[in-house]
Structure 1
Amino acid sequence: MLRLRLLTWDVKDTLLRLRRPLGESYAAEARAHGVRVQPEALSRAFREAYGAQSQRYPNYGRGQGLSSQQWWVDLVKQTFRLSGVHEDRILTLVAENLYHDYCSARNWEVLPGASETLSQCCQRGFRMGVVSNFDNRLENILSQCNLRHHFEFILTSEAAGFAKPDRRIFEKALRLGGVPPEQVAHIGDDYTRDYRAARAVGMHGFLLQAARQDEKLEVPPEHILPTLSHLLALIEKG
Structure 2
Amino acid sequence: MLRLRLLTWDVKDTLLRLRQPPGHSYAAEARAHGLRVQPEVLGRSFQEAYGAQRRRFPNYGQGRGLSSRQWWVDVVKQTFRLSGVQDESVLTAMAEKLYHDYCSANNWEPLPGASETLSQCRRRGFRMGVVSNFDNRLESILCQCELRQHFDFVLTSEAAGCAKPDARIFEQALRLGGALPRQAAHVGDDYSRDYRAARAVGMHSFLLRAAGQGEEPDVPPEHVLSSLSQLLARIEKE
Which TM-score bucket, shorter chain as reference?
Answer: over 0.9
Q: Indicate yes or no: 2:91 matched with 1:115.
A: no
- Please state how far the C-alpha of 1:62 moved relative to its aligned partner: 1.2
- Please state how far the C-alpha of 1:215 moved relative to its aligned partner: 4.0
The match for 1:237 is 237
- Please state how far the C-alpha of 1:139 moved relative to its aligned partner: 0.2
- CA offsets, 1:162-199, max 9 Å, x none? 00001110011111111100000000000000000000
Secondary structure in 1 aligned to 2:186? strand
- Please state how far the C-alpha of 1:212 moved relative to its aligned partner: 3.0
The match for 1:219 is 219
The match for 1:55 is 55
Secondary structure in 2 aligned to 1:185? strand
The match for 1:134 is 134
Q: Measure, in 2, the Cα distance between the counterparts of 1:31 and 1:203.
A: 47
Instruction: Give structure 1 stretches of 5+ with no counterpart.
Output: none
Secondary structure in 1 aligned to 2:86? coil
- CA offsets, 1:14-34, max 9 Å, x none? 000000111000000011011
The answer on whether the counterparts of 2:191 and 2:216 sit within 8 Å (CA) in structure 1 is no
Aligned length: 238
- Please state how far the C-alpha of 1:105 moved relative to its aligned partner: 0.3
The match for 2:202 is 202
Output the amino acid matched with 1:125. Answer: G
Q: Measure, in 2, the Cα distance between the counterparts of 1:177 and 1:127.
A: 7
The match for 1:144 is 144
Q: Measure, in 2, the Cα distance between the counterparts of 1:8 and 1:103.
A: 22
Q: Measure, in 1, the Cα distance between the counterparts of 2:209 and 2:83.
A: 33
Q: Measure, in 1, the Cα distance between the counterparts of 2:47 and 2:213.
A: 20
Between the aligned residues of both structures, percent identity stands at: 77
Instruction: Give structure 2 stretches of 5+ with no counterpart.
Output: none
The match for 1:102 is 102
Q: Measure, in 2, the Cα distance between the counterparts of 1:208 and 1:196.
A: 13
Farther-moved stretch of structure 1 (206-215 vs 33-42)? 206-215
Q: Measure, in 2, the Cα distance between the counterparts of 1:11 and 1:74.
A: 23
Q: Measure, in 2, the Cα distance between the counterparts of 1:34 and 1:48.
A: 24
Secondary structure in 1 aligned to 2:63? helix
Secondary structure in 2 aligned to 1:142? helix
The match for 2:83 is 83
Q: Indicate yes or no: 2:9 matched with 1:9.
A: yes
- Please state how far the C-alpha of 1:98 moved relative to its aligned partner: 0.2
Q: Measure, in 2, the Cα distance between the counterparts of 1:199 and 1:50.
A: 28
Normalised by the length of structure 2, the TM-score is: 0.99
Output the amino acid matched with 2:139. Answer: E
Output the amino acid matched with 1:22. Answer: P
Correspondence list, 1:155-174, <5 A: 155-174=155-174
RMSD over aligned CA atoms reads 0.7
- CA offsets, 1:33-87, max 9 Å, x none? 1111000000100111111100100000012010000000000000000001000
Correspondence list, 1:62-73, <5 A: 62-73=62-73
Q: Measure, in 2, the Cα distance between the counterparts of 1:138 and 1:157.
A: 11
- Please state how far the C-alpha of 1:217 moved relative to its aligned partner: 3.2
Normalised by the length of structure 1, the TM-score is: 0.99
